Amino acid sequence: MTISLKVNGKSQQVDTDPSTPLLYVLRNDLGLHGPKFGCGLGQCGACMVHVDGKAAFSCVLPIAAVGDREVTTLEGLLENGKPNKLQQAFIDEEAAQCGYCISGMVMRAQVLLKEKPHPTDEEIRHHMRTNLCRCGTHAAIMRAIKRAAVA
């Protein structure tokens, strides 16, 4: 079945089963490899994207349920082809070890900073609780979010 969707500001059409998770369409059909497959169960956050500006687990969201809502991936946060403030803060703080969780972490944190430009440590911890880092770089991730918040 042909399904239309809007990703990173562009209209796209894909031919797929309506029950296909958004994550598979992004990675396999549209070549957007920012979002990662971690658990496939909505429990790790590696696949996180924005749907109409809200954080969403793309591994458990059927493509048919997206409708005409705007999807944004890590690639869509770039500004003039360069990392945005938050992405740059993750780079500057060397927050990635293996890097697998980082796209999801950035997408999740971006939502927080939009709602609350200067969050407390506790607010950051609470907001980021949905995302796991198996390498244990949480301290660096926290520093990156705070760096972007004050920049």
Binder of ligand FES out of 8, 20, 110, 137 (CB under 6 A) = 137
Look up residue 4 and give its two tokens: 């239309």
Residue 10, classified by CB atoms within 10 Å of its CB into exposed (0-12), middle (13-18) or buried (19+), is exposed
Q: Is residue 76 a contact residue for ligand FES (CB under 6 A)?
A: no
Binder of ligand FES out of 12, 29, 40, 147 (CB under 6 A) = 40
Backbone angles phi, psi at 49, to 5 degrees: -135, 180
Q: Which residue has the tokens 């909505």?
A: 42
Q: Is residue 56 a contact residue for ligand FES (CB under 6 A)?
A: no
The DSSP code sequence of 112-148 is: HHHH-SS--HHHHHHHGGG---TT--HHHHHHHHHHH
Least distance to ligand FES from the beta carbon of 111, Å? 15
Q: Is residue 100 a contact residue for ligand FES (CB under 6 A)?
A: yes
Binder of ligand FES out of 6, 135, 142, 146 (CB under 6 A) = 135
Least distance to ligand FES from the beta carbon of 23, Å? 7
End-to-end, the C-alpha distance of the chain in Å comes to 45
Question: For ligand FES, what does the binding mask look like between residues 106 and 125, x meaning CB under 6 A?
Answer: --------------------
| Contacts to ligand FES by CB under 6 A | 37-40, 42-47, 57, 59, 96-102, 133-135, 137
